[in-house]
């Protein structure tokens, strides 16, 4: 129960990595605010997690690339719980394509969802954390931020933006006892991850390049998120931690 009584917000939490992290937080005693652009699944997951772990949950569906959603999440969280201790910016999309063929509107969209949303949420929720002199912010980047792939240049660029935004923000927020870090998943068995895994040959290739010898599952990300959200990580600031089974070593 390392997070007992804490209030955590997780974006993009209706499935995949976001849901696994939200469940991990609830299992550790946190009350969890579930955000996702999919309203039905968002509300269902909040209900399921609350009933399963006996914690309070709140569903706030919406598009976090819009400031109105970030403000709504902040206001509804404060109304329901009176505070916020943990923020996980997980919402993200993948729009693959070679650079020479990539559409400008797709570039704008992937940056809005993957990068701008992190800025908006950190700004709105960060105000609360800085004022109370406490907070843990975990931004989900990717090993793609450190080593991009063919047809994923735009995605890699957004995740590099998240990683380096987190590093810079950590220097602004650390004096206020607000820790900012990012986590960098590898190839994960999620709906988004199928862009890399749907092809059996590509799946074999990714397994072969992973020293652990398997594809990651969302639950692999929960442990590090719990640690970074807990008081055990108080002296960890501005890090970009790989959770990739050993694909990268930097």
Rounded Cα gap, residues 54 and 119, in angstroms: 32
pLDDT of residue 108: 98
Rounded Cα gap, residues 176 and 136, in angstroms: 11
pLDDT of residue 29: 98
Q: What is the mean pLDDT of each run of 10 residues along the chain (250 residues)?
A: 98 98 98 98 98 98 98 98 98 97 98 98 98 98 95 97 98 98 94 82 92 96 98 98 96
> How far apart, in Å, do the first and last CA atoms of the chain sit?
32
Does domain 7-186+218-243 fall under CATH 3.40.50.720? My reply is yes
> pTM for this structure?
0.97
Ordered by start, the domain boundaries in the chain are: 7-186+218-243
Q: Are 228 and 179 in contact (CB under 8 A)?
A: yes
DSSP 216-250: B-GGGGHHHHHHHHSGGGTT--S-EEEESTTS---
Question: Which residues belong to the active site?
Answer: 155
Q: Which parts of the chain fold into alpha helices (H)?
A: 16-27, 39-53, 67-81, 104-111, 117-132, 153-173, 194-197, 200-208, 222-229
Report DSSP state, residue 65: T
Q: Are 111 and 161 in contact (CB under 8 A)?
A: yes
Please, what sign has the CA dihedral across residues 5, 6, 12, 17?
Answer: negative
Rounded Cα gap, residues 219 and 240, in angstroms: 18
Structure tokens at 5: 């009584």
CB atoms within 10 A of CB 249: 7
CB atoms within 10 A of CB 92: 25
């Amino acid at each position: 129960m390392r997070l007992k009584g804490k209030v955590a917000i997780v974006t993009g939490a209706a499935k995949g990595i976001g849901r696994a992290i939200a469940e991990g937080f609830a299992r550790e005693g946190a009350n969890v605010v579930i955000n996702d652009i999919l309203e039905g699944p968002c509300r269902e997951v909040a209900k399921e997690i609350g009933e399963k772990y006996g914690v309070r949950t709140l569903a706030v569906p919406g598009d976090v690339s819009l400031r109105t959603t970030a403000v709504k999440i902040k206001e509804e969280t404060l109304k329901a719980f009176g505070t916020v201790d943990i923020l996980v910016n997980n919402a993200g999309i993948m729009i693959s394509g070679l650079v020479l063929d990539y559409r400008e509107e797709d570039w704008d969209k992937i940056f809005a969802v993957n990068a701008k949303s992190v800025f908006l949420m950190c700004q709105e929720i960060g105000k609360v954390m800085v004022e109370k002199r406490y907070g843990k912010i975990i931004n989900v980047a990717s090993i793609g931020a450190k080593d991009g792939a063919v047809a994923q240049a735009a995605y890699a660029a957004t995740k590099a933006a998240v990683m380096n935004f987190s590093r810079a923000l950590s220097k602004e927020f650390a004096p206020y006892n607000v820790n900012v870090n990012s986590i960098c998943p590898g190839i994960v068995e999620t709906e988004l991850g199928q862009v890399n895994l749907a092809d059996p040959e590509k799946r074999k290739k990714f397994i072969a390049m992973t020293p652990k010898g398997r594809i990651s599952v969302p639950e692999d990300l929960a442990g590090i998120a719990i640690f970074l959200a807990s008081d055990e990580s108080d002296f960890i600031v501005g890090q970009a931690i790989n959770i990739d089974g050993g694909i990268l070593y930097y």
